[in-house]
Amino acid sequence: MFHLKGKIKSLGAFFLLAPLSLNSTRLKAKTCSFYIKKSASLSGAITSKTWHLWDNWLLWDNRIPNLLHRFAMAAPKNVPVPLIDEKARWIHFTSPDGGKTWKEAGVILLADAKNAERAVWSGSIRQNAKGEFWAAYTSLIGKRKTMQGIGLAFWSDSKKKLIQLPKLLLDPRRDFEALKQKGYAMEDFENLGKGLERDNTVMALRDPYIYGDDPKQAKVYFAAKAQNSDGSFSPAIGRFTINKTSSGYEAILEEPLRVPDEKKFKQVELPNVFDVAGQKYLLISTTNRLSQEQSDLDSDLHSRLYSFNENGELEALGRLKGFDIELYGAQVSWPEPNLLSSFFHRDASQPRQLSLPRVRRFRNKNK
């Protein structure tokens, strides 16, 4: 979860599905070549007089052909930009023609005061067999500045929005010892979520990405940190499997997944896991930002691609180069990974919009 704070005078206002450039346009994986193929342009843009819009992600409808859903973090326009993280919610847009025209469908997820949530940050959303939405989201908890947890929310027909479960799947206070035992980096309990941790970055227990469609057994990847033997922290990918029990839902926690080039950056955000031609990939956003107050223009923003080997470990394929500012926060459409979404914006005083320039499609070279 992030928003750009610097001024980018040479770039457009706020883009989704940004054009992508690669050195030689190909990244070599162990079992196949992975590249991004230029596709036809899509017209249409989303502008809002009501909302600040930033992190966003795409979902192809599982019942209606060519119906594309877009979900974005949003805050009312009357909220000053430095405070929008504290007022974040999710808003829903739909496109009946695969992205050419869009219609706002309303707010779909709000912070739940009963759960002591201040805001809801990035996550992912899926549909069950009935076509009903369900989601994993980041919960900004309580009064501490950066206290984060991960929750589940399910569609309510009566309220026409997602409703959070009473308990978070992962709560850093409740699950403190369990997280530490699995190798996750946790600040001293009394300092959880207060601000910068010993690695000079904020807590990382956020941006859950659902790998699957069944809420009873889907796997979830999230932005995390791993504990090193010397007590230091490293950026990593958290993992758990959702388990449906007689009393509700629980997270079956796994050890964090180490990133092979972890020394090149300070933070991991917005992991995506997807398959192309039988090969499993991870796409993440990385930054050397040391605090949320630091300008993103000074933070070395990149999107990085990895493949999973036969042992479930990651192999680095390189950065998506050429448009790093636009592609920080890159997201892959689900369930078909054929659209790559991203965003950027310039001076915060300028109007924001979500727009659709050229699309790049994921394809194996042999397909």
Average pLDDT on 73-85 reads 90
- Three-class SS state of 297: helix
Q: What domains are there in the chain, each with its CATH number? A: 23-364 (2.115.10.20)
Using pLDDT thresholds of 50, 70 and 90, give the confidence band for residue 300. confident
Q: Which of 3-12, 48-57, 195-204 has the lowest mean pLDDT?
A: 3-12
Q: How many CB atoms lie within 10 A of CB 80?
A: 10
* Neighbour count for residue 21 (Cβ, 10 Å): 15
Task: Tell me how far apart the alpha carbons of residues 166 and 170 are, in angstroms, rounded to a whole number.
Answer: 12
Indicate if the pLDDT at residue 2 is higher than 80: no
Q: Higher-confidence residue: 14 or 302?
A: 302
Whole-prediction pTM value? 0.86
Residue 1 and residue 119: Cα distance in Å, rounded?
Answer: 12
Lowest mean pLDDT among 36-40, 74-78, 295-299: 36-40
DSSP states of 35-67? EEEEEEE---EEE-SSEEEEEEEEEE-SSSTT-
pLDDT tops 50 at residue 34: no
Q: Compute the average pLDDT of residues 114-124.
A: 91
pLDDT (mean) for 125-150: 93
Predicted confidence (pLDDT) per residue in 258-270, tens digit: 999 999 999 999 9
Q: Which among 357, 353, 321, 352 has a CA at the least distance from the CA of 341?
A: 357
What pLDDT, on the 0 to 100 scale, is given for residue 45?
Answer: 61
Edge-to-edge, what's the strand order for the sheet holding 314-319? 267-276, 279-287, 302-308, 314-319
Angle (CA) 148 150 156, round 5°: 125
Predicted confidence at residue 25, as pLDDT, reads 34
Highest mean pLDDT out of 5-14, 197-206, 267-276: 267-276
pLDDT reading at 39 higher than 70? no
Rounded Cα distance between 149 and 160, Å, is: 24
pLDDT tens figures, 170-198:
999 999 999 999 999 998 888 888 877 87
pLDDT tops 70 at residue 111: yes
Confidence of residue 293 (pLDDT cuts 50, 70, 90): low
Over range 98-121, report the average pLDDT: 90
- pLDDT tops 60 at residue 363: no
* Rounded distance between C-alpha atoms, residue 77 and residue 49, angstroms: 7
Buried b (16+ CB within 10 A) or exposed e, 249-262: bebebbebbebeeb
Calculate the average pLDDT of the chain: 79
- Cβ atoms of 172 and 186 within 8 Å: the answer is yes
Spatial distance between the Cα atoms of 168 and 164, rounded to a whole number of angstroms? 8
Report which DSSP code applies to 122.
E
Give the residue-averaged pLDDT of 24-39: 38
- Listed in sequence order, the residues at least 6 apart from 344 whose beta carbon sits closer than 8 Å to its beta carbon are 4, 8, 11, 12, 14, 15, 18, 325, 326, 328
Round to whole Å and give the CA distance between 171 and 249. Answer: 13
Q: What percent of the chain has pLDDT over 70?
A: 75
Cα separation, 139 vs 150, whole angstroms: 6
Beta-ladder partners of 66: none
* pLDDT at residue 284 in the model: 93
Q: Is the pLDDT of residue 1 over 70?
A: no
Query: What are residue 48's phi and psi, to 5 degrees?
Result: -140, 130
Q: Given pLDDT bands bounded at 50, 70 and 90, which one contains residue 327?
A: low
Per-residue pLDDT for 226 more than 80?
yes
Per the model's pLDDT, the better-predicted residue between 197 and 87 turns out to be 87
Residue 296 pLDDT grade (very low, low, confident, very high; cuts 50, 70, 90):
low
| Percentage with pLDDT > 90 across the chain | 51
Q: How confident is the model at residue 14 (pLDDT cuts 50, 70, 90)?
A: very low
- Whole-number pLDDT of residue 352: 47
- The 219-227 sheet, strands edge to edge: 206-211, 219-227, 233-245, 248-258
Structure tokens at 236: 């990593």
Q: How far is CA 48 from CA 75, 77, 218, 340, in A?
A: 11, 9, 34, 22
Query: In 17-132, which ranges are E strands?
Result: 26-28, 33-41, 45-47, 51-60, 68-76, 89-95, 103-109, 117-127
Range of weakest confidence among 42-51, 52-61, 156-165: 42-51
Q: Is the pLDDT of residue 135 over 60?
A: yes
Q: Can you give the length of the chain in residues? A: 367
Distance in Å from the first CA to the final CA of the chain: 34
Given the DSSP bridges, would you call strands 279-287 and 267-276 parallel, antiparallel or unpaired?
A: antiparallel
pLDDT of residue 52: 85
Residues 238-253: tens digit of each pLDDT: 999 999 999 899 999 9
pLDDT-derived band at 116, boundaries 50, 70, 90:
confident
